[in-house]
Structure 1
Amino acid sequence: MAQRRGAPLWTVKHEDMKELRCMTWTSKGTAEILVAGEQDKMFVVDVNKGEVTKQIPTDHHYKIMRRSRHICAATTGSAVHILDPLTFRISKEWTAHAATISDMDAQHDFIVTCGLSPRQQGYIMYDPLVNVFDLKQMVSMPPVPFPSGAAYVRMHPRMSTTSIVVSQSGQMHVVDLMNPNTSTVKQANHLYMNMIDIAPSGEAIALADADCQIHLWGPQGSLHFAELANPVEFASAEQHIPPIPWSDDAPLSSIGMPYYREQLLSAWPKEEIYEVGAPPVKEDPRYLESLQRREWGLFGKNTRSQRRNQVEDTRKLDKEERLLNKPKFLSEQARSASHAPAGTPAPEDLVPGPKQLVAPIQLESQKNAVSPIYRHVEIQYSRFGIDDWDFK
Structure 2
Amino acid sequence: MQITGSQLIINSLIEEGVDKIFAYPGGYDKDIFDALYHEKDIELILPRHEQGLIHAAEGYARSTGKVGVCLVTSGPGATNLVTGIADANYDGIPLVCFTGQVATSVIGNDAFQEVDIVGITRTISKYSTTIRKREDLGRAIKEAFYIARTGKPGPVIVDLPSNIVSEIGPAEYPETVNIRGYKPSKGVHIGQIKKALEMLKNAKKPLFLIGGGVNISHANEEFEKLVNITKVPVITTIMEKGAIPTKHPLFIGNVGMHGSYASNKAVNECDVLFSIGTRFNDRVTGRIAEFAPNAKIIHIDIDSASISRNIVVNIPIVADAKAAINELIPLAQELYTKKWVNQIKAWDKEYPVTAPSSVEGRISPQAIFENLNKAFTEGIFLTDVG
Same fold (TM over 0.5): no
Q: Which has the larger radius of gyration?
A: 1
TM-score bracket relative to the smaller structure: under 0.3
TM-score (norm 2): 0.20
Normalized per residue, which structure has more helix?
A: 2
Point out which structure has higher relative CO (alpha carbons under 8 A, 6+ apart): 2
Q: TM-score, normalised by structure 1?
A: 0.20
